[in-house]
Structure 1
Amino acid sequence: MASEQTVHMNGGQGDTSYARNSSLQNADQNRMRPLIEEAIADLLSASASMPRSMVVADLGCSSGPNALALVSIAVDAIRGQCFRSRQPPLEVCVFLNDLPDNDFNMVMKSLVAFQQGHRSVVTGVIPGSFYGRLFTTGSLHLACSANSLHWLSELLKN
């Protein structure tokens, strides 16, 4: 797909970077909090027994301050659900996905800080289009995508 190389956010920390110009996207992600919390509650309550681990992915994570927003909400929801059900904390694996032109240097730096604050979380980065295969069958418990689909739909309109 030719758009994979043309539709991406401005990297780095400059005045025109996504990291400095993404407050609207952050607001959208915050509005998704109750949906993610409900999905986690449904996933964990539907299990006959509490799983030992969960895998969460953000498809189109971008970079900058929003890169970890959705997965942070998911990790907090998983921990909260375990606490409310008096279960031990689950191990959580978090994958961040975006197109190869994403500023993954910034994403990796964010992941280091994230892991320090969430010791039971394992993280990884999966570059590529989510229109192709990124994960093995049955390997994800929750996949989130905030604005990626919007940008792709806008591209298709033009």
Structure 2
Amino acid sequence: MKFVLLADNHSAISQIAKWYSDEWGYIGEGRSPKELELKLKDYLNHDKLPLIILAQAGDELLGAAQLRFHEMDIYPEREHWLGGVYVASEHRGKGIANAVVTAIIDKAKELGVSSINLQTEDFTGGLYARLGWQAVEQVTYHGIKVQVMEKSL
């Protein structure tokens, strides 16, 4: 498995958009594959946010994760966010999510980020708790109950 930036594999945009739409399209407007493809073009960065790291085996796309700004507008003071962590269903349970989240953390450190936030519908914190993320609070955001978590880098 190798990690590459979306900026170095533009052809992955349509697959990621489909994944995200299938997984989180229920959240609201602007989440069709076509709409997400347009939004994902903003993530074609190497050394600034937002960006996406892809997990690949050869040319096969295994998963993805985002590092971005201000995901939740109710937290204007929380600047950097992990989001869009997704692993293709046929590759789940192989440690790919752990690896791609760790790759995002490494990239965030490289860019001088001091802490990262996330939101998850898993109130135990799951993978994120195992990787050292701390619960901040539970909130209802856009009608969905989520656990907000933070990791100092």
Q: TM-score, normalised by structure 2?
A: 0.32
Structure ranking higher in strand proportion = 2
Structure ranking higher in helix proportion = 1
Q: TM-score, normalised by structure 1?
A: 0.32
Relative contact order: is structure 1 or structure 2 higher (C-alpha 8 Å, sep ≥ 6)?
1
Point out the structure with max Rg over C-alpha: 1
